[in-house]
Chain A
Amino acid sequence: MSEFELPVRPAVLTQALTRRFGELVAVDRLDLEIASGIIFGLLGPNGAGKSTTVKMLTTLLPPSSGRATVAGHDVVREPAAVRRQIGYVPQLISADGALSGYENLLLSAKLYDVPRKEQAARIDDALQFMGLTDAARAMVRTYSGGMVRRLEVAQALLHRPAVLFLDEPTIGLDPMARHAVWERLRESRTRYAMTVLITTHDMDEAEQLCDRLAIMNGGRLAATGTVAELKQRVGPSATLDDVFAHFAVGVITEGGSYRDVVNTRNTAERLG
């Protein structure tokens, strides 16, 4: 594996990344650098610009200005290369309920050009790793919320992405299911030596899962650091809640469009 040099470049790098929707600046000159191999949490209230950032990084949405590279590839100039290097679990449900877990995985394997010889082995491996072997032939619509999420993570990992993006991965899950998803994520990170970027507005998730955090607020970066660093910056006995409150001051306390709420609720309902 000598031809395969370990990248020293950051997994994600953005420079003055900006996205406007009409008058609204959803993401405002964002400078972000995410080192390879860590679980990075993008924390912030609804409407802080987290999902917009992820959509730009996953090539779903062109930036209005600024640039971003993911795994060394520019999201605007080399979208195809970026897509090969990333896995994405959107906030909404992306597994197809009318197909079985196995078929969902097979579709991903084929779309990502996983070599035919390796497909079966990788799918079996993924099913086992995610604890879905017994449910592999069942229709996904019969899965519980936690199972759906684990399947989606498995789909996103089949092609061994360099960077995995997860948008609010545990929204609508009950505590037991959340813990299972977190555990799988932590393990897969080590196993595949990849970088994970998650967005969340949940303190627990940020604290338990992430190595580093960036707090976004009104489209801008309010603070970055490890959980401990951030707490220290606020005060000696600060909780992450306090950190959040400190850096997200002055946010419109009621961010998030109606659509967000409906989406979240629909997601919660389908998962739940």
Chain B
Amino acid sequence: MTSSTLGTPPSGWVNRHVLGFGRHSLAVAQMEIAKIGREPTELLTRAIQPALWLIVFGQVFTRTRAIPTGTMRYLDYLAPGVLAQSVLFSAIFYGLAVIWERDLGVVHKLLVSPASRSSLVFGKAISAGLRALAQAVIILALAAVLGVRLRTDVMSLMGVALVVVLGGALFSTFSFVIACLVKTRERFMGVGQVLTMPLFFASNAIYPLSMMPPWLRTISALNPLTYLVNALRALMIEGGEGTAGLGTDLLVLLAVFLVLVGIAANLYEGIVR
């Protein structure tokens, strides 16, 4: 029995704070990922929803050409939107798990550990991002089957994966913040449900901004989902491009994500009081 490690923090500032943050985030993420692998049916049932959109909505509108998407085929236009939608939907109810963990007592245990709050939030966000990625694989496969003109080079695929993870992390942290604010499952369901659909419809996921009434255009410019859709469109589709440029999209997503992590880390402690 060595007592040498009793309560001694890892030595060195960098080791303690920077690497510690990484280690702790990773530990949390790893456990969350272990859980995803155990519920493959959930991944599949959640993939039904986007599949319906792609097949029903996409196919018909591609034929009728009722939505003006310029040179792009509508199905190609829609696929990134549907992918973004599935990222949003799989992440937005993440807060329920946070409330559930509080009701059980798991949160108490995490909060008394030496891991920083931000590393806990970050780890959970990354795992939510990877959960979204698992779903993205299913949707991309489906899109390929439906004949969407996907880019298949490694760089693009990696870019898509990165953006999907970032998007999942962003919306799950958003959900985390809401959970810390409303604190009960019932209110969370109410608020979460009320947010999801408007976020989806007030974005350029299924129709271009030019088609929207002006007030809706304003809202969609403030909607992070729009930037997620833009980035995916640029990375995923042959000849696809966003409206604001890939760099801007990524910067906006990253900035919003980091701000949300900061807010969530600050609110996290309050959930057990």
A and B directly contacting (CB within 8 A): yes
> Which residues of chain A have C-beta atoms less than 8 A from B108's C-beta?
60, 88, 90, 92, 94
Q: How large is the interface on B (under 10, 10 to 19, 20 to 34, 35 or more residues)?
A: 35 or more
Contact with B along A127-145 (1 / 0, CB 8 A): 0000000000000000000
Contact B104 A93 (CB under 8 A): yes
Min distance, Cβ A139 to any Cβ of chain B, angstroms = 8
Contact with B along A237-272 (1 / 0, CB 8 A): 000000000000000000000000000001000100
> Which residues of chain A have C-beta atoms less than 8 A from B104's C-beta?
92-94, 97, 270
Instruction: Give the segment of B4-12, B162-170, B238-246, B254-262 that binds chain A.
Output: B4-12
> Which residues of chain A have C-beta atoms less than 8 A from B103's C-beta?
92, 266
Contact B112 A86 (CB under 8 A): yes
Instruction: Give the segment of B28-36, B174-182, B193-201 that binds chain A.
Output: B28-36
Of B7, B20, B26, B272, the contact of A71 (CB 8 Å cutoff): B7
User: What is the interface size of chain A, counting residues whose CB is below 8 A from a CB of the partner?
Assistant: 45
Compute how far the CA of A160 lies from the CA of B8 in the bound complex, rounded to whole angstroms.
Answer: 11
Compute how far the CA of A94 lies from the CA of B103 in the bound complex, rounded to whole angstroms.
Answer: 10
Take A92-B105, A107-B28 as given contacts and tell me if A113 and B114 are in contact as well, using a CB distance cutoff of 8 Å: yes
Contact A98 B38 (CB under 8 A): yes
Of B3, B5, B273, the contact of A114 (CB 8 Å cutoff): B5
* 8 A Cβ contacts from A59-109 to B: 59-61, 71, 80-81, 83-86, 88, 90-99, 103, 106-108
Contact B35 A98 (CB under 8 A): yes
CB of A176 closer than 8 Å to a CB of B: no
Contact A159 B5 (CB under 8 A): yes
Chain A residues at the B interface, C-beta cutoff of 8 Å: 1, 4, 55, 58-61, 71, 80-81, 83-86, 88, 90-99, 103, 106-108, 110-115, 118, 152, 155, 159-162, 192, 266, 270
